[in-house]
A and B are shown apart, each in its own frame.
Chain A
C-alpha cells in the first residue's frame, strides 16, 4: 500500500515536473530565438544556437533528476505517515473482530457442549428435548455470531482462503447434502453442470450454495434447478425454484440483513452472507425478476486465470 501510494505521488509529481520542464525549454528556446534572430542567418550562429539548446536540455535534466529523487523520498515519508493510521485501524478492527468472536462464542460453547453431553445420559424424553433445544439454540447463536462478524467487515479477498476449485463440484456436493430434505418435502432437485474452475474459497462457496439451496427449499412448490456453467470469463451458478416468486419491493431489499422472509424460517442472514462471499470473490449475486413464477438467483464469479 505504501509503495503504491509513493508511486502515485511520484507519478503525479513527475508529470507536473515534465510539463514545467517542457514549458521552460519552450520559453527559453523562443526567447533565444527572437534575441538571436540576426545571428541565426549564419551557419556558425545556427551551430552555436543548437549547442546552447543542447546545454539547456542537459541543465534541465540535471535539475530534474535530483529533484525527483528528493520528491520520491518525500513521497515515501508522506505515504507512510498517511497510511499508517489506516493500517493500525485495520489491524485493530481485525483484532476486535477476533476478540469479539472469542468472547461471544466461548460461553455459547460451554452451554452447547454441556447440554449435548448431559442429554446423552437422560432417559426422560421431555428433558432430552429441552437439552436438545438448549444445545441447538447455542449452536445457532454461534453460527449467527460468525455471520454477523463476517458481515461487519467489507467484502475483501484478503478475508478468503482461495485456491483453484471447480464450482461444479461444489454444486454437486451441496446438492447431495440437500437431496434427502428435498425428497421429504416432495421437491425434485435437478443438477446440471459444466466445469467452471474459479480461484475460490471452498468453505465460503459451499456456504453460498447451501444458503441458496436452503432458501429455495423453503420457497419451492415442487421443483428446484441447480445449474453451473462457464462463460468466457465468469463461472455462473444459478438456483431456480418454482415458489411464489419475489415482488419488486422485496427484490430491492432481499440481500439486506434480517430482511429475508421470516415466515419461512430463515435466519435472515443467509442471502446477505451469500452476496458478501460473491463480492469478496470479485463477483455478484443477483436475483431474477420473476413475480409469480418462482425466483432465480445467480452467482457469477471470475474464472481462474493461470
Chain B
C-alpha cells in the first residue's frame, strides 16, 4: 500500500512516516499543497493524508482539485481546527475523513485502514435512476436538473436505493446497511429518513419515486 503524506511540519512528517513504515506502508511525502496536488494527480496512491494548513495551496483546495480531476484516492484530512464549519467544508470538498490534531497513533492507523478497506468507487462516479442523478464524488443529487440538498445519512440512504433501484429493502436491511446497528435499533429512524427524502425529492419535482412495499419496506422506482 502506498500512502502520500502532504504536510509541511517536518517533525510530524518524520514521525508519521515512521509510524506508517513500521506497518509496512510505502510512504511518499510532499511538503506543500502544490507538490501534493501534482503527486495525487498521478493517481498512484492507495490513500493520502493531507494537512489543511499548507504553503502554496491549502488542503481544501488540494482535495477539491483532486476530486475535480476524477481521482478517487481516499483522503484523510488532518486539521488543528475542529469547528463544525471546518469539518463540513473538508467533507464537502471531497475528503473522506478527518482527524483533529493532536491525534493518537492508533486512531490514525485505524482511520487509514478503514479508508483502505472501503470499496473503491466505480469508474463512473455518477449513478442514475430515471431522472434522478447522484454524483458519489461530489456527493450531490439532482432530479431533472434540480439540485437536492441532502445530509450525509440522507445521501447514503438515497445512494443505496439508487444502486438497487426497483429492489425492496426492509427496514432492518436499511438499519444494518446504513446505520450498522449491532443491536435491535429502532426501525423508526428509517421511516424518519425515508420521509425526509420523500419531502426533498418532492420539492425537486420527484413525486412518489420511493414507494412503500407493504409488509416489506421501501424501494426506489426507476
- Whether A304 and B192, one on each chain, are in contact in the complex, defined by CB atoms closer than 8 angstroms, is yes
Interface-located stretch among A4-12, A51-59, A109-117: A109-117
Which residues of A, 160-181, contact B by the 8 Å Cβ criterion? Answer: 160-161, 163-166, 168-169, 172
Does A105 count as interface, using CB distance less than 8 angstroms? Answer: yes
Q: Which residue of chain A has the shortest Cβ distance to B12 in the bound complex? A: A113
Task: Report if B11 contacts A (CB, 8 A).
Answer: yes
The chain B residue sitting closest to A97, CB to CB, is: B83
Residue A78 interfacial (CB < 8 Å): no
- A94 adjacent to B83 (CB under 8 Å): yes
Query: With an 8 A cutoff between CB atoms, is A34 at the interface?
Result: no
B80 beta carbon closer than 8 Å to chain A: yes
The answer to whether A109 and B102 touch across the interface, beta carbons within 8 angstroms, is yes
Residues of chain A within 8 A of B152, CB atoms compared: 163
Once the chains bind, are A98 and B87 in contact (CB under 8 Å)?
Answer: no
User: Does chain B have a CB within 8 A of A77?
Assistant: no
Which of A111, A169, A172, A197 has the most chain B CB within a 10 Å cutoff?
Answer: A169
Contact indicator A105/B192 (Cβ below 8 Å) = no
- Supposing A116-B19, A164-B196 touch, asked if A197 and B189 sit within 8 A by C-beta, the answer is yes
Chain A nearest CB: distance from B16 CB in Å?
Answer: 6
Q: In the complex, what distance in Å separates the CA atom of A108 from the CA atom of B103? A: 9
- Name the A residues within 8 Å of B104 (CB-CB): 112, 116, 135, 139
Q: Answer whether A117 and B16 are a contact pair too, CB < 8 Å, given A97-B83, A159-B84, A160-B84.
A: yes
**Residue contact B84 to A142, C-beta cutoff 8 Å:** no
**Interface majority SS (helix, strand, loop, mixed), chain B:** helix
Residue B25 lies at the interface, judged by CB distance under 8 Å to chain A: no
- A236 close to chain B: CB less than 8 A: no
Contacts of A113 in B (CB 8 A): 11-12, 15-16, 19, 102-103, 105
From A153, which residue of chain B is reached at the shortest CB distance?
Answer: B83
Please, which residue of chain B has its CB at the minimum distance from the CB of A158? B84
Which residues on the A side are within 8 Å of B100 (C-beta)?
A: 105, 142, 146
Assembly CA distance A300 to B192 (angstroms): 20
Q: Which of B14, B22, B102, B152 has the most CB of A within 10 A?
A: B102
Contacts of B103 in A (CB 8 A): 109, 112-113, 139
Contact of A168 with B102 at beta-carbon distance under 8 Å, contacts A110-B12, A113-B15, A121-B18 already known: no
Asked if A98 and B81 make an inter-chain contact with CB atoms under 8 angstroms apart, the answer reads yes
Residues of B within 8 A of A105 (CB): 80, 100-102
For the complex, is B122 an interface residue (Cβ under 8 Å from A)?
A: no
State A138–B12 Cα separation when bound (angstroms).
14
Is A120 engaged at the interface, CB distance under 8 Å to the other chain?
A: yes
- Whether B181 is near chain A, meaning CB under 8 Å from some CB there, is yes
A114: B residues at CB distance < 8 A: 11-12, 14-15
Is the Cβ of B102 less than 8 Å from the Cβ of A112? yes
Contacts known (A98-B81, A102-B53, A109-B80); A116 close to B105, Cβ less than 8 A: yes
The answer to whether B12 and A120 touch across the interface, beta carbons within 8 angstroms, is: no
Contact of B192 among A108, A139, A306 (CB under 8 A): A306
Interface size class, chain A: 35 or more
Q: Decide yes or no: A168 and B185 within 8 Å by CB, A112-B103, A113-B16 being known contacts.
A: yes
- Considering only residues 1-32 of chain B, those with a C-beta below 8 Å from chain A are 9, 11-12, 14-16, 18-19, 22
CB neighbours of B81 from chain A (8 A) = 98, 101-102
> A245 CB to closest chain B CB, in angstroms?
31
Q: How distant is the Cα of A195 from the Cα of B185 in the complex, in angstroms?
A: 7
- Is B193 interfacial (CB-CB < 8 Å)? yes
How would residues 189 to 206 of chain A score, 1 for a CB under 8 Å from any chain B CB and 0 otherwise? Answer: 000000101000100000
- Give the chain A neighbours of B19 by CB distance below 8 A: 113, 116-117, 120
A306–B18 CB distance below 8 A: no
| Chain B nearest CB, measured from A145 CB (Å) | 9
Chain B residue at minimal CB-CB distance from A110: B11
A102 to B80, Cβ gap below 8 A? yes
A residues less than 8 Å from B101 (CB atoms): 105-106, 108-109, 142
Residues of A within 8 A of B154 (CB): 163
**Cβ of B174 to closest chain A Cβ, rounded Å:** 13
Q: How far is the CB of A286 from chain B (nearest CB, A)?
A: 25
Mark B residues whose CB is within 8 Å of A. Answer: 9, 11-12, 14-16, 18-19, 22, 53, 80-88, 100-105, 151-154, 179, 181-183, 185-186, 188-189, 192-193, 195-196, 199
Q: A139-B104, A197-B189 are in contact. List 20 more A-B contacts (CB 8 A).
A: A98-B81, A101-B83, A105-B80, A105-B100, A106-B53, A109-B101, A113-B11, A113-B15, A113-B102, A113-B103, A114-B12, A116-B15, A138-B102, A139-B102, A159-B84, A161-B88, A166-B185, A166-B189, A169-B186, A197-B192
Pull 6 A–B residue pairs with CB atoms less than 8 Å apart, ordered by A.
A105-B80, A118-B15, A120-B18, A139-B104, A163-B154, A168-B186
